[in-house]
Amino acid sequence: MHMHKLEKIWLIVGVSCLVLFLTTIGVSAFYLGNKPPSCLTTVDPDKVDQQKPFDKPGLHKVEGKDWDYELVYVAQAFSYNPAQVKVPLGAKVKVIATTKDVIHGFEVAGTNINMMLEPGYVSEYTTTFNKAGEYLVVCNEYCGSGHHLMFSKIEVVKQ
Amino acid sequence: MAKAELKTEQKTEIEDSSSLKGTLASVFFLGLFIVITWVSVYMLFVERF
């Protein structure tokens, strides 16, 4: 097959880029273990308040796990529980959240914590809070007339 | 029945007078744009917690 020399160059460059991008995603998923926030864990949406860990929303210290704290959130129209929480700087935290009624969003503005909360499903995200400051948690899935009033605050503080 | 002679020796000359330098430049220009945007978004993802 006749192929122009320059054509070969851009095909090689293009294919290499594709391989590089896909390898990055592959390493992220299979080696670093990154996955979608909602991963097969379910909860009865009518009995969220009675079930662990959602019976006690807030920050809890845990022992013997890969993370130091668990930050439990329950969302409902149009608020989050807890409304405000303090997290020590540098803590590895697993954020566990669900919703009692409709689909809500859980976005910690300016960070990678951005999950969709679906009734009946538990969403999780593990991360290290390594930058001090005040972070706003907002709902980014339209959930009703009070959607824009739905927020919570995370304070990352030195201890 | 006589068969028509197949002229296998005669080759069709493909003239390669067209230059692809401009195409290469535009392909690389677009490629560079894609790579820069991809890398910048990836860096943003890595930098944030």
Lowest mean pLDDT among A16-30, A37-51, A65-79: A37-51
Question: How high does pLDDT run on average in chain A?
Answer: 92
- Asked whether residue A46 carries a pLDDT value surpassing 70, the answer given is yes
CA distance A62 to A54: 15
What is the DSSP secondary-structure string of A6-45?
HHHHHHHHHHHHHHHHHHHHHIIIIIS----SEEEEE--G
Amino acid identity at A137 = V
Q: What tokens appear for A56 in the block?
A: 């006690």
Q: Model confidence over B1-45: pLDDT tens digits?
A: 666 666 666 666 666 667 888 999 999 999 999 999 999 999 998
pLDDT of the residue at A11: 94
Which of B21, B45, B48 faces A6 most closely, judged by CB atoms? B21
pLDDT of the residue at A39: 73
- A4 interfaces chain B, CB cutoff of 8 Å: yes
Lowest mean pLDDT among A5-19, A33-47, A71-85: A33-47
Does this model's pTM top 0.90? no
Which of B31, B38, B48 faces A112 most closely, judged by CB atoms? B48
Tell me the residue length of chain A: 159
**Strand-strand pairing, A92-99 and A121-128:** antiparallel
**CATH class belonging to A38-157:** mainly beta
Q: Model ipTM? A: 0.72
Q: Is A140 exposed, middle or buried (0-12, 13-18, 19+ CB in 10 A)?
A: middle
Which of B14, B31, B42 faces A13 most closely, judged by CB atoms? B31
Peptide bond into A82 cis (omega under 30): yes
- Asked whether residue A1 carries a pLDDT value surpassing 70, the answer given is yes
Q: What does the DSSP 8-state code read for residue A14? A: H
pLDDT of the residue at A36: 87
Helix (H, G, I), strand (E, B) or coil at B15: coil
Domain ranges in chain A are 1-34, 38-157
Chain B residues within 8 Å of chain A (Cβ atoms) = 14, 16, 20-21, 23-24, 27-28, 31, 34-35, 38, 42, 45, 48-49
- Asked whether residue A156 carries a pLDDT value surpassing 80, the answer given is yes
- Return the residue in A2, A3, A5, A6 with the most chain B beta carbons within 10 A, the one to mutate for interface testing: A6
pLDDT of the residue at A33: 85
Quick check: A10 and B16 CB within 8 A?
Answer: no
Region A29-38 average pLDDT: 88
Q: How far is CA B35 from CA A14, A22, A121, B21, B31, in A?
A: 10, 13, 36, 21, 6
pLDDT of the residue at A95: 95
